Structure 1
Amino acid sequence: MKNLLIVLTFLVVTACQPEKKTGITIHLNSIGFLPSAKKTASIVGEVKSFVLKREDDHAVVFKGETTVPVLQQDVDQHVCLADFSSFTEEGKYYLETQDGSRSVSVEISPTVYHDAFYTSMRAFYLWRCGTAVEGEHNGQIFSHGPCHLHDGYDDFTGNPGQWRDGTGGWHDAGDYGKYTVNAGITLGMLFLAWDQFQPQLEQFPLNLPETAPGFPDYLKELKWETDWLFSMQYPDGSGRVSHKLTRLNFAPFIAADADTARRYFTEWSSAATASFTGMMAQAARYFQPYDADYAQKCLDAALLSYDFLQKNPEYKRFEQGDFKTGGYQSPDEDDRLWAAAELWETTDESKYLTDFEERAAAMDCQVDEDWDWADVSNLAMFTYALSEKEGKTPEVSEKITQNIVTVANEITEKGRQDVYGRPLGGRYYWGCNGTVARQAINLQVANRLSPNPAYRQTALDAISHLLGRNYYNRSFVTGLGISPAMHPHDRRSGADELTDPWPGYLVGGGHSATGWNDLEEDYATNEIAINWQGALVYALAGFLADE
C-alpha cells in the first residue's frame, strides 16, 4: 500500500510527533477547529474513507469518503480531501483512515485560536527594544536584559557625535534594527485589527508589563512602538522623519543586550515621513479613549509631517550610503495616499478627503491581493471603504468597494483550487507567508462590505496553511502547530542556549512550492519580520471566540 500523508486544518500550542503505523505517516496537531468552520484534511495518496473518533472512548462519531485525488503540479502530489465539516460537537477527537492509521487528538472548540493568538501577539512584546523582556512558553524561559540603551546618534542627520533618545520600539526582524517604513504597514494592520475586532481584543489578557496605565493590553503593546516613533521625527520641527535607526551593518548572532555597536538615526525619506503620518493619525484615533493628551500628541505629530509633505511633494528616496542594514526603499505615492486617508478618518476634515480621492482616482482605485510594506495603498483603500463618515464621492466609493470585493473573490477562488488551501496560488517569494496571512485582511474587509461566508472560510484556510496544512506538513510559526519551524533566522534564537526558538514567529517561506529551508542561515526563506507577524496577528484576531 502507498504511504499516506494526512495534513489537517488546525492549530496547536506544542509540537507533536507523527504516529507511524504500517508504513503510513499521519501528521496532525493537538487542537483542531472552530465548531462552525470547514474541517478539511489534505491527504497525499489513495485514501477512500476515514472516520472521526472521540478521544476518551474511541467511539466513531463521523464517517466520510474522500474526494478523488487531484494532481497539483507545483508540489507534484496527488492529493484528496477528507471533509467532516458537518460535525460540530465540541470535544477532542482523532482521525483514522481505513487501514487503521490514526492521528493525534484534535479539539473542536470556539476558543481554539486563543493560545495561538496569545503567543503570536506576545511575540511583539518579546521583540521590544530598550528594555529587558522575559516570557515563558512550553516550560522554557526566553529572555534578554535591557538592550540598545544608547539609541541613537545623529551623525547622519547633521549633528556628528551627538546623541538623543531613540530607545524603545520593536526590533524589526531577525536583526535588531528599527525601520519606520516597516513599522508603518505593521501598525497599520494591527490598528485595523483593533478597529474590526475590538470586542474580542479589548478584554484579551496578554500579561504585559505596566507600560501604559489604563490601556488594554493589545493597545499597550502598540503604544510601545508609537512611543519610539516620536523620536524618528526630526527634532527641528520640520516634520521630516528618519528612515531607520540601526548600526552600519547587521549585528552578528549575539543576544540583543550584547549588541553594543553604535547605532544611528538616518536621514529622512518621504516614504518614511508619509508612513509616520498614517501611523500617528491612526494612533490618535484609537488611543483617544484611553489618553486624550497622548492622542493629541500623536495627531499633532501627524499633522506636522503631513504639512511638510504638502510643501514638499517630490519623492525623496532614502539612500543607504554607509549603511548595509535593511533598505526598505520604495516610492511614496502609496504612503501619501494612506496618510491622507487616516487623517480624514481621524479629523473629518474635507481637505484630507479631497487629497485621498484625487490620489485614489489617479491609481484607478486599485486594490491588490499581493501586497506588503512597499505598497500600503490597500490600507488606505480599506480605511476609506469602511468609513462611515459622510462626504465620499459616490463614484470613487463604489469603485473601491467593487475592487475590494473582486479581489476577495479572486483570492477565494485561488484558495479553493489549491490542494492545501493556499489562497496566494502559485506565487512564491521572499516573505510570501506574510502575504498569505495578509490576504485575511482583504477577505475580512470584503466580508464587512459584502458579507460572504466563503471569505471567512478562505481566511481560515490561509491560517491553516501557515500552521501545518501545507506541502511540508509543518507549521511556519515557531512554537505553534505541527512540527513547527525550529531554526528561524533570528539573532535571539541563534544566540541563546535553548533548543527551541523564541515562540510565536512566522517565517518567510520558500521561493518555490517546495523551496522552504528550516535553516538559521537561510534568511531568504526562514527569517522573521514584524510586517509578516502583524499579518498573522490580524488573521488570528478575526477568529477569537466569535461564535
Structure 2
Amino acid sequence: MKKQIIVTLIFFISFFCVIAQSNHIHFNSLGFLPNHKKTVTISQKSDVFNILDLKGNVVFSGKTTGPYSQEDINQTVWKADFSEFTKTGDYVIEAVGVGRSNAFKIADDVFNFAAKTSMRGFYLWRCGMEVNGDFNGTHFYQDTCHLEDGFDDYIGNPNSQRDGTGGWHDAGDYGKYTVNAGITVGVLFMAWDHYQPQIEKLQLDLPDTAPGLPDFLKELKWETDWILKMQYPDGSGKVSHKLTRVNFSDFIMADKDEEKRYFTEWSSAATADFVAMMAMAARYFEPYDAAYAKKCLDAAWVSYRFLQEHPEEKRFVQGDFKTGGYQTRDNDDKLWAAAELWETTGDKTCLDDFEKRAALMDYKIEENWDWGNVSNLGMFTYALSKRKDKSPEIDTLIKNNITENADALVEKGKTDVYSRALAGTYFWGCNGTVARQTMNLQIANKMQPKKEYIETAIGIIDHIFGKNVYNRSFVTGLGINPPMHPHDRRSGADGIEAPWPGYLVGGGHKATDWIDDQESYSHNEIAINWQGALVYALMGFVD
C-alpha cells in the first residue's frame, strides 16, 4: 500500500512537472465554455494532440492542422481544435512530441470570476474613499484620498475650492479625465443594457454607497456623481476637461498625493461626452432613482444647449499641465451626445443633429476605436434603438455597416494565428482596442445573429488570457503567468509583491515587443477605457 502511494505521488508530480515545463501550447488559460469553440495554438511541430483528465486518461484525441506562418510574430505554428468535446471538468492538453499544458476548465461559468474581478477593479480605483479587498490570499488597501478636489484657479477663480471628490482614478496615475471617462462609462452602460440578466447574477461585493441600485450600476454611479461635478459652477454648461495636479506624482499611494489639484478649462469634446454620459445615466438609473435620473438629464440638456449655441470646436490646451492630455476633435463626441440624448428623450432636434453628423461620417463603423473616436457608440445606440422616428434609410445603412465591419473582424480573427481580430496592428493601448472589438461583434450579432460573431468574440478573450505569442495573460492576477509589474502607482507603492488584481495592461507597439515593466507606461499601464472594454468582453459570456 505504501509503495502504491509513492508510485501514485511520483505519477502526479511528474505529470504536473511536465505541465509546468511546456511553453509551446498557447491557449485561454481561464478555460473554455462547453458549447463554444475551443482552439489552441502550438508553436512547435506536433501532428496529434490529446485532451487528458487530471488522472492522465485520454478523453479526446485529434489531429492538428498546419503549419501556418505569420510574419509579424516570426513564427510557424500548428492549431488544435477540440470544439466538439463538451464535457465539463478539469483537463490538460497534450501536444504529442511537444509537452503538456497547464490545467484548465471547461465550464459554463468559466469566465465568471474574471468578469467579477475585472469589474471590481473599478471599485478598487475609487477616488475619495477607503477601498480594500482580498485576492488570492493578499489584502489590498488604499486609504481615503484627494478630499480637497479641486481648485478653480484655471477657470478664473484663483484659490477657490469646490467639491470634485469621487470618481475613479483614470489609469496608473491618480488624475481624473472627462474624455476618457466618456468612452468608459459609455461602454459599461452598454454592457448593462446588453447583458443585464447575466450581470445581475454576479455578486460584486461592493460597499452600499448607492442604496437600492444593483451593484453594477452602483459602481457606475460613483463615477457619474463625479462627472456631474465637472460641469462649470456658473451654469453655462461648459465641462472641465480634467481634474488633476499639474504634474504626475511619484509612485506613492493615493492618500500620500497631497499636491493641489485643479479643474481645468473646458473643451467641447469633454462637454459633448458629458452630455452623452448624463443622457445614458438618466436612462439607466431612472428605474431605480427617478430624482437622480432627472438631475442627470437636466445637466445633459444644459450642456447640449450650450454646444448648440456655441458650435465652434474648443480644443483643450495643456498649458501648465503635464498630466494626460486626451486632446481630441469633437465631431464624434457631438454625434454620440446627440444619439444618447435622442434615445433618452426622443427629441427631434437631437435626432436631426445625429443624422446630419452621421452623414458627414458616411455612417462608418470603426474597427479600431478608443477615446479619440467614439462615433461607434452613437452609431450603435441609433442602430439598436426601437424608436420609430429614425430614418429607415439611415438605419439600414448603419446596420449594414455594422455587420460588414463584424464580417471583416471575423476574417481577421481567422487569419491571425492567435485569434487577434486587430490582426497586424499594434500601438500604445492596443489590448484595450482588441477587447473593445467584442462590442462590434456582439452588436452585429444582436441585429443579425451569426455564430461566427460569437466565436470571434471568444477568440478575442482567448487571446487576452494566454492565446498569444507570449503564452501569458494580459490581466493582472488572472490566467497563466499574468503581468506582475503594471505601470500602476498603487502596485508600485504598496509594498506588496502581487499587483492589484483584474487589470488589463496596454500591450506592445509591435507584435513581439510587450514588456512586463512598471517603468514602461506605453506598454504596461492600466487604464479605465481598456478596463471597460475588458468588462464588456467578459460580461457577454457570464454563465
Asked if TM exceeds 0.5, the reply is yes
1:418 & 1:458 partners in 2: Cα distance?
11
Structure 1: how far apart are the matches of 2:110 and 2:176? 33
Secondary structure at 2:61's aligned position in 1? strand
**1:484 aligned to 2:482?**
yes
CA distance in 1, matches of 2:277, 2:252: 31
Gap change, CA 1:319 and 1:46, over 3 Å in 2:
same
> Are 1:342 and 2:349 matched, yes or no?
no
TM-aligned CA deviation for residue 24 of structure 1: 6.9
Structure 2: distance between partners of 1:150 and 1:136: 28
How high is the TM-score relative to the length of structure 2? 0.95
Look up the match of 1:206: 204
- Cα distance in 1 for partners of 2:91, 2:202 equals 27
Q: 1:24–1:124: structure 2 CA closer, same or farther, 3 Å change rule? A: closer
1-structure distance, mates of 2:337, 2:324: 23
The one-letter amino acid of 1:531's match is N
User: Unpaired runs of 5+ in structure 2?
Assistant: 1-15
- SS of aligned partner of 2:452: helix
Alpha-carbon separation, structure 2, partners of 1:29 and 1:410: 23
Match of 1:405, SS?
helix
Structure 1 residue aligned with 2:396: 398
Q: Deviations over 1:396-437 (max 9, x none)?
A: 111101111111011110010000001001000011000000
Mapped contact 2:20–2:101 kept (Cα < 8 A): no
DSSP 3-state at the match of 1:33? coil
- CA–CA distance in structure 1, aligned partners of residues 187 and 427 of structure 2: 21
Q: Distance in 1 between matches of 2:101 and 2:372?
A: 42
Q: 1:529: how far off?
A: 0.5
Q: Work out whether residues 26 and 471 of structure 2, in 8 Å CA contact, stay in contact via their aligned partners in 1.
A: yes
Aligned pair in 2 of structure 1 residues 211, 535: CA closer, same or farther (>3 Å)? same
Give yes or no for the alignment of 1:292 onto 2:294: no
Aligned residue for 1:136, secondary structure, equals strand
CA contact (8 A) 1:486 1:501 kept: yes
Corresponding residue number in structure 2 for 1:146: 144
Deviation string 1:72-103 (CA, Å, 9 cap, x unpaired) is 10011111101100000111111112237222
Kept in 2, the 8 Å contact 1:19–1:25? The answer is no
Give distance in 2, aligned partners of 1:25 and 1:62: 20
Q: Secondary structure of the equivalent of 1:304?
A: helix
CA distance in 2, matches of 1:203, 1:318: 41
Secondary structure at the aligned position of 2:66 is classed as: coil
Query: What is the deviation of 1:349?
Result: 1.6
Query: 1:230: Cα distance to partner?
Result: 1.1
Letter aligned with residue 44 of structure 1: S
Q: Which portions of structure 1, spanning 4 or more consecutive aligned residues, are displaced by more than 4 angstroms?
A: 23-31
Asked whether the equivalents of residues 240 and 308 of structure 1 are also in contact (C-alpha less than 8 Å), the reply is yes
- TM-aligned CA deviation for residue 43 of structure 1: 0.2
Q: Distance in 2 between matches of 1:249 and 1:31?
A: 39
The whole-number CA distance in structure 1 between the counterparts of 2:502 and 2:215 is: 17
Contact 2:51 2:94 in 1 (8 A): yes
Q: What letter corresponds to residue 54 of structure 1 in structure 2?
A: D
Deviations 1:98-149 (A, max 9, x none): 2372222211100000000011000000000001100111000111100011
**Using a 3 Å threshold, how does the CA distance of structure 1 residues 20 and 176 change in structure 2: closer, same or farther?**
closer
CA distance in 1, matches of 2:162, 2:98: 66
Equivalent residue runs for 1:90-489 within 5 Å: 90-99=88-97, 101-489=99-487
Which residue number in structure 1 is paired with residue 6 of structure 2? none
Partner of 1:162, secondary structure, is: coil
For residue 82 of structure 1, the aligned residue among 56, 65, 80 is: 80
Could you say which residue in structure 2 is the equivalent of 1:9? none
Find the residue that maps to 1:395 and give its secondary structure: helix
Q: Distance in 2 between matches of 1:33 and 1:20?
A: 20
CA distance in 1, matches of 2:358, 2:28: 44
Question: Which residue does the alignment assign to 1:520?
Answer: 518
Q: Aligned residue pairs: how many?
A: 528
Question: What is the CA deviation profile of residues 269-291 of structure 1, one whole-angstrom value per residue up to 9, with x for unaligned ones?
Answer: 10000000000000000000110
Q: Which amino acid aligns with 2:147?
A: L
Q: Is this contact kept in 2: 1:153–1:262, CA < 8 A?
A: yes
Query: Residue 115 of structure 1: SS of its match in structure 2?
Result: helix
**Conserved? CA contact 2:25–2:43, under 8 Å:** no
Helix, strand or coil at the partner of 2:529: helix
Q: Indicate whether 1:48 and 2:64 are aligned.
A: no
Shift of 1:460: 0.7
CA contact (8 A) 1:246 1:263 kept: yes
Alignment partners' CA distance in 2, 1:168 and 1:463: 31
3-state SS in 2 of match to 1:32: coil
Q: Which moved more, 1:344-353 or 1:366-375?
A: 344-353
Supply the RMSD in Å over aligned alpha carbons. 1.4
TM-score by length of structure 1 reads 0.95
On the 8 A contact 2:29/2:473 being kept in 1, the answer is no
Deviations 1:59-78 (A, max 9, x none): 22111000021111001111
Unaligned ranges ≥5, structure 1: 1-15
